[in-house]
Structure 1
Amino acid sequence: MVSERLVIDALGAKGDGIGRGANGMAFVPFALPGEILRVEREGNRAEIVDIEVPSTERREPPCPHFGACGGCDLQHASEELYRAFKRDVVVEAFRREGVEAEIGELVPCPPASRRRAVFSAVRADTRILFGFHEAASNRISEIDTCLVATPQIVKRLAFFKKLAALLIDRKRELRMTVTETLSGLDISVDDAAKLTPALRQAAVKLALDPAIARLSVSGETIVEARPPQITIDGLPVLLPPGAFLQAVASAEDAMARVALGHLAGLKTVADLFCGVGAFALRMARTQAVHAVEFDAPALAALDQARRGVAGLKPVTLERRDLMRRPVTAKELEKFAGVLFDPPRAGAEAQCHELAKSKVRRIAAVSCNPTTLARDAAILVAGGYRLISVTPIDQFLWSHHVEAVALFER
């Protein structure tokens, strides 16, 4: 490690301060623009030893785990700087792709609103470490509170650790996805120890806690006291074990409000990468929807949900790997509008087909501004006009930002 004095010039895309010193450029976690720091660096990574001149935008982080837990890396920034940073991440992504875009203001996210959280656990000698990864590390930071998760999740942290200690494998990290539903907590555990009869019995006994709706281990349902249910725009949906769900309900509502407003009035729409139907079910109130998804349990949940509601417009379902086999321009001829919400890798192959299509309007929802901007460039090159991009905060105090981009021919 080399000791050095740095002046921080800007924030990088992952929230690190970027500065230059005698040994060149360095990335410094938890630093802010305008600060003068004494750091210890190794290569282009550095750690703060002393803040000689703090930024006027620096604030006291509200969480006791800040700096150790890697979940929230921007709690030390003022609200104004934080919001500007997240919007600038989207602005810079589109700038790099050479796509002109009207970037809106960030739609905010309240604390204590994350209904879905993914925890990790490892064995350290005789101890079990349970919590979130440290920033840029495989190490796990133990937590006893969380300011972004819902109160029902936070109050059960000790229970989750006890369950992790029971199910953990001796040689690998355990992952635990917890979702708050209307029926109680849905817990899905992956990379667990092999379920022997004795271990299964112990897990069943522990999961009979009245707050737990379901416990699944490696995709197998161990206990289901009540089917985990959520609502999408007031419509009931039963979640499959470990199903993807937008982490914050208000963020999902914001995405839907922007995207569906753009597609309103079109008679036929396709929802690509539809999941359990966060957008498809909303659109089906007024539009015929073709929903495409590769995950069979998610598609089955959507099918069950739409069958249980009277008065919806027709919803057709298709299981398809859109990464390998995108819907072709020919197949897209029957749709006036398309919404797509892909994984972080984006929808490059699908956008090449959309660029050749005659679809009138497109709404793109993304958790990765970089791949969204790349996909937008493909659509613009194919003749679409990018109307607007709306940044949406879903992972409070982190560098992650969602966005919805709207296109038309």
Structure 2
Amino acid sequence: MAMIEGLTHLGLGKLDDGRTLLPRVLPGEEVSVDQDGTVRIITPSVDRVAAPCRHFKTCGGCAMQHANDVFVASWKQEIVRKAVTAQGLTAEFREIQTSPPQSRRRAKFAGQRTKKGVMLGFYAKGSDTIIAVPDCQLITVGLHDARPALEALIMIAASRKSHVSFTVTETAVGPDVSVETEKELTSQLRMELAVFAQKHGLSRLVWQDEVIVTMQPPAQDFGGVSAVPPAGAFLQATKHGEAALRDAVSEITAGANRIVDLFAGSGTFALPLSKGAEIHAVEGEADMIAALDRGWRDGKNLKRVTSETRDLFRRPLEPDELRKFDAAVIDPPRAGAEAQIATLAVSAIKKVAMVSCNPVTFARDAKTLVAAGFTLNWLQVVDQFRWSPHVEVVGSFTRK
């Protein structure tokens, strides 16, 4: 027997030998490991629960369904706390915001044709084997309802030798579906797909980055302002998580008259913030900036929003460009935004709302701001990737 000493940030249990990492275990549990690698729980933790999804062990998409919600919330808060502490920082932690089950509005499915018909599901962890997940507890009812259409689409898009992938986003006017396949798009197939989209109530159908048909614009509601993101463009995983992030950002920037939104995407923060302040939105992807601009132009009672396509990794906004803004919102990719944070640090901006999906790069960039005179007031952890190791955080930074 051996004891589980703790968990890594990926949810793997650390055995007391200091080397072995095991999945689906919890701190304090006594376990035995068979020669074939099978883990047997001898003494379970009081935090252990029955997994709510019957696909938990085979699917591999969730890492923490064997732990109760209180444990997972504490563990995720601690992941952020350790990252911040490692940079010598401290801050107040607000209560974590966790998205409910069946709230994930976008998923990437895999499909293949079989002797008996089709298989639709997710890839098993570290494998190209597709696992059917008809009872997935993560995705919305709308995505579940799209399964018959996707299964029918497998027959069109996949061969017996090749898989097909679907990125599906729930919208109010039907599923927004992007197809990745090796099958060549012919004129005849293009017409068949247009008919298929109409028959199955798809809002938009995209084939290898080419929009085949838009039956109705697949708009997303960003805090009361609608925009149509490009197919497959970044979107917060759940409406709940997006609202939690938006509320935190709105609180941090309250009172600002002019706000710069860096890595603005399709307008997650810029559009709702424009109800009360002028916004300058900067994003590296031109099609996302175009979607944001259209959303603003179609909106009602919004203040001025200007936008700019710019690679903020290579060309961050400089201090002289930032001097006209009262506050900044920055939501970079996982790598963080060292170059842009460096110019924010020496700018005249007094308020920064920093959003991150990587606690390590968040803490690194936060240290730069604090060293330049900012105070890290509080942190809001948001868990919209329920039962996974992923975690997001918003930080409130101000200086006199």
TM-score by length of 1: 0.91
Task: Give the 5 Å matches for 1:248-397.
Answer: 248-397=238-387
1:245 equivalent in structure 2: 235
Deviations 1:192-240 (A, max 9, x none): 4321334434433432234311110122111221111222222222232
CA distance in 2, matches of 1:93, 1:384: 18
1:26 equivalent in structure 2: 20
CA distance in 2, matches of 1:77, 1:105: 19
Residues 125 and 293 (structure 1 numbering): CA distance in 2 closer, same or farther, change over 3 Å?
Answer: farther
CA apart distance, 1:66: 0.4
CA apart distance, 1:249: 0.8
Q: 1:145·1:157 contact (CA, 8 Å) conserved in 2?
A: no
CA apart distance, 1:289: 0.4
1:38 equivalent in structure 2: 32
1:14 equivalent in structure 2: 10
Task: Give the 5 Å matches for 1:150-161.
Answer: 150-161=140-151
SS in 1 for 2:250: helix
Equivalent of 1:66 in 53, 56, 67: 56
CA distance in 1, matches of 2:317, 2:35: 49
CA distance in 1, matches of 2:322, 2:96: 32
Q: 2:59·2:123 contact (CA, 8 Å) conserved in 1?
A: yes
The worse-fitting range, judged by mean Cα deviation, of 293-302 and 166-175 is: 166-175
2:180 equivalent in structure 1: 190
For 1:12, the aligned partner's letter is T
Dislocated runs of 4+, deviation >6 Å: 123-127, 169-172
CA apart distance, 1:171: 7.4
Residues 137 and 85 (structure 1 numbering): CA distance in 2 closer, same or farther, change over 3 Å?
Answer: farther
Number of residues of Structure 1 aligned to a counterpart in Structure 2:
399
CA distance in 2, matches of 1:189, 1:403: 31
1:232 equivalent in structure 2: 222
CA apart distance, 1:191: 4.7
Q: 1:238·1:305 contact (CA, 8 Å) conserved in 2?
A: yes
CA distance in 2, matches of 1:203, 1:395: 32
For 1:34, the aligned partner's letter is G
Q: 1:37·1:49 contact (CA, 8 Å) conserved in 2?
A: yes
For 1:16, the aligned partner's letter is L
Q: 1:169·1:191 contact (CA, 8 Å) conserved in 2?
A: no
CA distance in 2, matches of 1:373, 1:125: 51
Gaps of 5+ in 2: none
CA distance in 2, matches of 1:371, 1:163: 40
TM-score by length of 2: 0.93
CA apart distance, 1:116: 1.4
Identity of aligned residues (%): 40
SS in 2 for 1:52: strand
- Structure 1 or 2: more strand by fraction: 1
CA distance in 2, matches of 1:273, 1:204: 34
2:100 equivalent in structure 1: 110
CA distance in 1, matches of 2:97, 2:170: 23
CA apart distance, 1:9: 1.1
SS in 2 for 1:67: helix
